[in-house]
Structure 1
């Protein structure tokens, strides 16, 4: 083995998905078709490399047209049923609506400590690279 820590599986796919999601959120309201295209690319990369997308990111993309949903800009938010505590997000581009229950005690499975098998951090790799650069620059005349 080379002894190098290669990180985790799908690291480049996650970084590409992160970039496309940020680009989709940035273009929302300015260019809706471009926002939908970036959102579609983000979801298709996740499907192709069999990676799970965080539920908060899934909620912020339209299921039908894949556009980034920003309340007031590209989506309308309204309370559907006050007794059952349900709110709705409606996409302005395709008029698709999603309903979400409001339960303050609910936790996603991913937020449960039992669901975590391994934690990988990218910060350690960045720190070691900075340290190597610092030692090289100190040795130089």
Structure 2
């Protein structure tokens, strides 16, 4: 299935909900602060309601409906298998004593887990930023001591020269008029760029 690369207005809301969900778990497990965990869960649910977004069933089932705290087995929740009157899984919140019951029927599958429920897949991976010579110069100026202006100037000039050569190489590759010598120049440019990068990192 093809990915839809177009951005959506709900992207920021989904990222915020993801952050709040992780913060709620962190407060419940690491900080042992059930009040903060419940508050982050409350804000997450309100974000979903305000933006009219459907939460994944696995995420929704891991949050208490009463106090909105994360249901973590052994920490904030107790999980038991019940056989009467029907086979089901019972979750009990240890903060507000609210219970949830989910039947365990053989072959039962949620609608969200079925293939026909998937309409499209969205990819929110940002495009990698192209590092230009001017950007490299800014990085060098921040990392190199200001008492060495000659080194900064020489390095920036070298980077600008490499960038101009690489642009010329790209244009000649697009036109199909490159010779064997250009390939050697490309290798030299890559080695010089890697050398400058190692200088910046050091």
Provide Cα deviations, 1:57-107, integer angstroms capped at 9, x if missing partner.
111100000001110111111122267321101001110000011235222
**Aligned-partner Cα distance in 2 for 1:82–1:36:** 31
Q: Which residue of 2 aligns with 1:53?
A: 55
| 2:99 equivalent to 1:100 | no
Structure with the bigger percentage of helix: 2
- Aligned mate of 2:65, from 63, 66, 84: 63
Taking a change above 3 Å as real, the CA distance of residues 35 and 104 of structure 1, as seen in their structure-2 partners, is farther
Contact 1:80–1:86 (CA under 8 A) maintained in structure 2: yes
Instruction: Select the residue among 112, 115, 122 that pairs with 2:124.
Output: 122
Q: 1:82 to 1:17 in 2, by over 3 A?
A: same
| Separation of aligned partners in 2, 1:87 and 1:112 | 21
> Following the alignment from structure 1 to structure 2, what is the Cα–Cα distance between the partners of residues 46 and 32?
21
Aligned CA RMSD, in angstroms, stands at 2.2
What secondary structure, in the 3-state scheme, does the structure 1 residue paired with 2:89 have?
A: strand
Alpha-carbon separation, structure 1, partners of 2:98 and 2:135: 61
Aligned length: 131
Quote the residue 1:19 is aligned against. Answer: 19
Give the structure-2-normalised TM-score. Answer: 0.59
Structure 1 length-normalised TM: 0.83
Structure 2: segments with no counterpart, 5+ residues: 137-158, 160-202
Relative to structure 2, which stretch is displaced further, 26-35 or 110-119?
110-119
Question: Which piece of structure 1 moves more, 36-45 or 72-81?
Answer: 72-81
CA gap 1:97/1:15 in 2 versus in 1, 3 angstroms = same
Moved >4 Å (runs of 4+): 137-140
Quote how far apart the aligned CAs of 1:137 are: 5.3
Counterpart of 2:112 (choices 102, 110, 113) is 110
Which 5+ residue runs of structure 1 have no aligned equivalent? none
User: Are the structure 2 counterparts of residues 65 and 101 from structure 1 closer, same or farther at C-alpha, using a change threshold of 3 Å?
Assistant: same
